[in-house]
Amino acid sequence: MTVRGTAALGAVLLTVLAVPAHAAAAAPADVDSGAVQGTSRVAEDLAAPDVAGLRAVLRTALTQGAPGAVARVDDQGTVHDVAEGVADKATGRAIDNADRFRVGSVTKSFSAVVLLQLVDEGVLGLDTPVNTYLPGLLPDDRITVRHVLSHRSGLYDYTNNMFASTVPGFEAVRNKVFSYQELMALSLKQPLGSAPGAAYAYSNTNFVVAGMLIEKLTGTSVQAAYRSRIIEPLGLADTSYVHPATAIDGRHANGYLTPDEAGAPLVDSTEQTVSWAQSAGAVISSTRDLNTFFSALLRGELTSAAQLAQMQQWVPVNSTQGYGLGLRRRDLSCGVSVYGHTGTVQGYYTYAFTSKDGGRSVTALANTSNNGTVLNTMARTLESAFCGKPAAASKRAVGSARAEAPVERYEDIAPGIARD
């Protein structure tokens, strides 16, 4: 049984996608192809979560500059939650899995779900040009909705310029309110990075387009669409979209942005409009709610089976990662593939992933950003959550040709700027 939203307005068809940054070449792989380059997917047989290992990862992140870090594993009704460090440096309050936080680009999965529901409702076509729905918006009529949702539109990511200098860039937009049209204008100052469909290149511009499509085709705001189609049906009590308000309601973790200058103090970046991202990155949530969301998604509770399959047509990102339609796949060292999204917004790093059947989910958060060392460390929470203790993981990996995960050098904002 699905919990899809009510049918949306009008019949129109459209498609768009956009993105630059670190590009890779392109045609979507088969659904459930396993490793990005087409090796067969290992059947799921998950070892017990390594909770001690999870805690060790969080503690390591603290030694590398994160004020606090949390992780929650939901495993077939059993919950494991781990927390280390502080939510608020000023008061010293301990961070906790009950804290809300800014999820950054995990928002993209919310936007993609709404659009795929519109496909189910016959309102949107994945292979229809975006300009069909939003006439004249994009510079190339060949850019489809599928291109946008899979980061193959070629649209330039305006955040590369906006946040080339991290703290000054953030302070310049912290309280600013942008229209979608203004964000698109920033992107379109630059030419397309590739022909539509030719290459994967992550770009926030694509999901600005997604937000515009949602509002045009539903006749409501992105906020209302998220609420009626995802938040309320799933009972996500900690999840909200408050743009352009700047505060996080209720108990929450403060976010701390790392300056570019070595040794400079962290900047409290908690309060901001996140108007520079909107449907690409402005959702607020909790570890519990994100686990609920991705579990429901992979169990087929938010879209039809056909659209969930479309969401899992993978474009290669690197040797251990693929990107579908607003959904990431990561192939772990033990041969298990997991599905979800990463998120970066000033002061917060999020990893939120679930197993193929939605039976085990983990969301991990560190309340800092612009720190590539912490970014890579937090990725290891997936290994602890899905591969189990190292000895068990080693046994499971026997005969696997999967390589160690590549070092993450890019964030989900300003993806053209390497974080060494």
Catalytic residue ranges:
105
- 3-state class of 136 per DSSP? coil
Picking from 193, 224, 201, 196, the residue whose alpha carbon sits closest to that of residue 211 is 224
249 CB-near residues (< 8 Å, 6+ apart)? 100, 240, 242, 284
The string of DSSP codes covering 260-276 is SSTTPPPEE--S---TT
155 token code pair? 């649209």
188 CB-near residues (< 8 Å, 6+ apart)? 139, 155, 156
- 3-state class of 69 per DSSP? strand
The DSSP H or E segment spanning 339 is strand 337-345
298 token code pair? 């992979």
Q: Are 29 and 164 in contact (CB under 8 A)?
A: no
Picking from 231, 351, 223, 222, the residue whose alpha carbon sits closest to that of residue 289 is 231
Upstream peptide bond of 233 is cis (omega within 30 degrees of 0): no
- Report the C-alpha gap between 302 and 80 in whole angstroms: 25
112 token code pair? 């993609």
- Report the C-alpha gap between 47 and 386 in whole angstroms: 7
